[in-house]
Amino acid sequence: MITPFPPVEFDAEIIGKLSQSGPRYTSYPTADRFQNDFGYGQFLEAVAGLRMRRSRRPLSLYVHIPFCDTICYYCGCNKIVTKDHSKAAVYLGYLKQEIDMQGRLFDGMGQIEQLHFGGGTPTYLSDRQMGDLMAHLHANFDFADDAHGEYSIEIDPRTVSVERVHSLRKQGFNRISLGVQDFDPDVQKAVNRIQPEAETRAVMNAARAAGYRSISIDLIYGLPKQSIDSMTQTLDKVIDASPDRIALYNYAHLPHIFKPQRRIADADMPSPAVKLELLKMSIQRLCDAGYIYIGMDHFAKPDDELAVAQRQGRLQRNFQGYSTRAESELISCGVSAISAVGATYSQNEKTLEAYYEKLDGGVLPITRGIRLDNDDLLRRIVIAKLMCNFELSMSSIEQGFPIKFRQYFETELGKLEAFEDDGLLTIDDEWISVTPKGRLLIRNICMVFDRYLGVAQDVAPQPLRYSKTI
């Protein structure tokens, strides 16, 4: 018998007290810690290390398509907004070159069990271009069959027809995630993303008819013109549409960093108090509708693979958020994409010019990265376990690493006492367990184990680099 997790608990006072900026821990160390002296050579060494150890870990692929047709004012992504679709054709040529190189490097090293297309807007590519790209990926990598692989794509419902949804399924995708953000027409206008509800529903219906295994919807709270009333209506519509997963992101209004956000009128922004109410109400409504709070903005139906994996302690966290797959090597292709291979992270060049230049020179377009030391690997596991399971067995960490947990993390355990006093977690001889009240503040708890926080570095100060933890 599997015991479900207790529901998440909203405590406005604690949230107000602890709200601060912090990483999302899709990687540890976080990307701002990557170093410029890590490049193509170091990546080759990491792959050679895998070959020597005859690693049989499964492979994951991420493909980044950076283009968008129009700009959404809230966007903080690394994207290129252009109506000139010929740019995509040029990009595709280089992307295929990178896929060729990665395919040769990883030849014979395992099957692809996970594929994710992100952006930008992956469906900026035409149906023909996508078919061509998928065929190229299949020619270079050995993919697990449809029943065993998770092949997902982010879709902007404004860019796809019902026929295109069916075509993407035939091209090999079996999961889709739809950007919705908010169904309210005034909110949509304020963020320059007009997306009629009927259009989104048509895409979802087509996805069900085409046999996708999972449909996920992205929402954002804290957008301009949002009110409790408008958000209630949006949530009612989303619950009625019944996606398998829902991501509810916090809008980080940082116009000093993200230029498009300067087009959002300050007067339209909900106050911090309304924003907290929006979050509280959204969590309540989604949980009442039967969704399970997975953690870090994510909800899923109780029978969805994510919820099942969490109950069984198998949940993982990677650059795409939560995943049900065992730890795998992540090979990422495309401008600014981040790979995780062996004990390394590596990121591709962030501009098209630099990305194309490296590929023209015959090398993988890696610009920076990091080789994890033993302390990084240890802390990465501790943070991942807390993020995914909301609990950590100290002895299970001692089995994997030659340390005495209480000794090694004496300072950290001391810091956790303040959270214990606030009722956010409990610590006994064996377990650190996050309470329902602490689940919304899991980032704050994980930050205690982050060795790099507070360590000076040559980029912007911390409050500007990370979004609010809640």
Chain residues that interact with ligand SF4, rule: CB under 6 A:
68, 71-72, 75, 77, 79, 119-121, 156, 179
Q: Which is nearer to ligand SF4, 71 or 144 (CB)?
A: 71
Our CA angle for 293, 299, 302, nearest 5°, is 80
- Please state, as a whole number, how many other Cβ atoms lie within 10 Å of the Cβ of residue 128: 9
Q: Tokens 């609010």 — which residue?
A: 468
Q: Which is nearer to ligand SF4, 121 or 216 (CB)?
A: 121
Q: How far apart are CA 190 and CA 269, in angstroms?
A: 10
Q: Which is nearer to ligand SF4, 225 or 358 (CB)?
A: 225
Q: Which is nearer to ligand SF4, 194 or 459 (CB)?
A: 194
Q: How far is the CB of 154 from ligand SF4 (least distance, A)?
A: 8
Question: Which one-letter DSSP state was computed for residue 327?
Answer: P
Q: Which is nearer to ligand SF4, 78 or 233 (CB)?
A: 78
The two tokens of residue 93 are 């040529």
Q: How far apart are CA 207 and CA 164, in angstroms?
A: 10
Q: How far is the CB of 352 from ligand SF4 (least distance, A)?
A: 15
* 162 sits in which H/E element: helix 162-170
The two tokens of residue 391 are 């609990």
Q: How far apart are CA 2 and CA 93, in angstroms?
A: 49
Residue type, 296: M
Q: How far is the CB of 119 from ligand SF4 (least distance, A)?
A: 6
Q: Encode burial over 408-445: b for 16+ CB neighbours within 10 A, e otherwise.
A: bbeebbeebeebeebebbebeeeebbbbbbbbbbbbbb
Q: How far is the CB of 132 from ligand SF4 (least distance, A)?
A: 22
Q: Which is nearer to ligand SF4, 105 or 252 (CB)?
A: 252
List helix spans (H) across 249-400: 272-288, 305-311, 352-360, 374-389, 394-400
Q: Which is nearer to ligand SF4, 46 or 68 (CB)?
A: 68
Q: How far is the CB of 168 from ligand SF4 (least distance, A)?
A: 17
Q: How far is the CB of 223 from ligand SF4 (least distance, A)?
A: 12
Q: How far is the CB of 470 from ligand SF4 (least distance, A)?
A: 21
